[in-house]
Amino acid sequence: MTSRETIPIGTRKSALAIAQTVQVQSALEKHNPTKSFPLLRMSTTGDNFQGQPLSSIGTTAVFTRELETALEMKQCDLLVHSLKDVPTQIKPGFVIGAMLKRVEPNDVMVMRPGEFKELKDFGKGDVVGTSSVRRASQIRRLCPGVQVMDVRGNVNTRLSKLDAADSPYTCLLLAAAGLLRLNFDERITATLPPSVMLHAVGQGSIAIECRSDDTEILELIKPLDHLPTRLRCEAERSVMRILEGGCSVPIGVWTEFVHSSGTEPTEAESVGQLRLKALVSSLDGTEIAETEAVADVNGSVELAVELGQTVANQLLAKGADRILTKVLRDRNTTLVPTGTGEEKTIKGWEV
């Protein structure tokens, strides 16, 4: 156990980031009542470019780079992230020391209070707000003719944009986890099951990052690591690692344990089979490579990673590399920026 009495935690300044970090802080205080865990709040590249779609910023570390600099300079001893924001290639000298138990990983549809419309009824004239090319590509596939418009900002800002009297949006697509952690669950109009939309890699899980040689901190956060979550997320991250994807690439995944009893195994029982589904989609949703595989992981991170590699290679065999090459070339035109008034076809597809 570490002899340090004060252990600073690095975090972004957004309300969601603080809520997640406070969850980690409370858990650490419970296990270490004599120690102090102050928060070091920082802004990141992703926070500083709220007016641009994430796909146009051009890096996979938009929400982590500045935090890792502080960790490297020992201004803090650990970082708290949304796992989906963490690049699959961790910077040398750092490690994800714990993944907290995952909450609802699905995406959800949010409409103005009192309004409701089935997704199957969406079409020309409807405007879907999202900053994710993954969600945008899947919604275009599901609802041909919809317009997809970028919506950046924290959760409160996005909801305000939806609720405004002059709002152009029919609905927003958001991660369920963020709404739940901010107690906005009453704003969820409908949850999108994996048959409708596959979620982002790592979505719904909180990651704790620290220096890889800091054995005291690694031991300190070890009780917070949830093995079933790590197995699922390591399999998902393995897919993305091979496909070289990030926040700006339309890769969707779904993982679930296939247990003999038909139920999710407990941490002590993480020996069942793990099923992994994944897809890669073109920006307009017309081209797609998708596959799934099942493997006995038996509580092994290495076997979970191998499952992800298998699925990634199956996707490549189905043309995922060709789709991703085109995506990377055209991704800056995937979303209509808010406030432009543009409602037109860009490079051959309606957005």
DSSP E strands, 15-153: 39-42, 78-82, 94-99, 107-110, 127-129, 147-149
> What does the DSSP 8-state code read for residue 285?
S
CA proximity to 335, closest of 320, 322, 350:
350
Task: List, in order, residues 6 or more apart from 57 with CB less than 8 Å away.
Answer: 45, 46, 49, 248
Element (H, E) at 273: strand 273-281
Burial class (CB within 10 angstroms; exposed 0-12, middle 13-18, buried 19+) of 86: buried
User: Among 47, 77, 85, 126, which one carries the catalytic annotation?
Assistant: 85
CB 95 within 8 A of CB 68: no
Q: Torsion over CA of 110, 112, 113 and 118, rounded to 10 degrees? A: -60
Beta partners for residue 9, in sequence order: 39, 78
Could you tell me the maximum CA-CA distance found in the chain, to the nearest angstrom? 62
| Known catalytic membership, residue 126 | no
The residues annotated with a catalytic role in the active site are 85
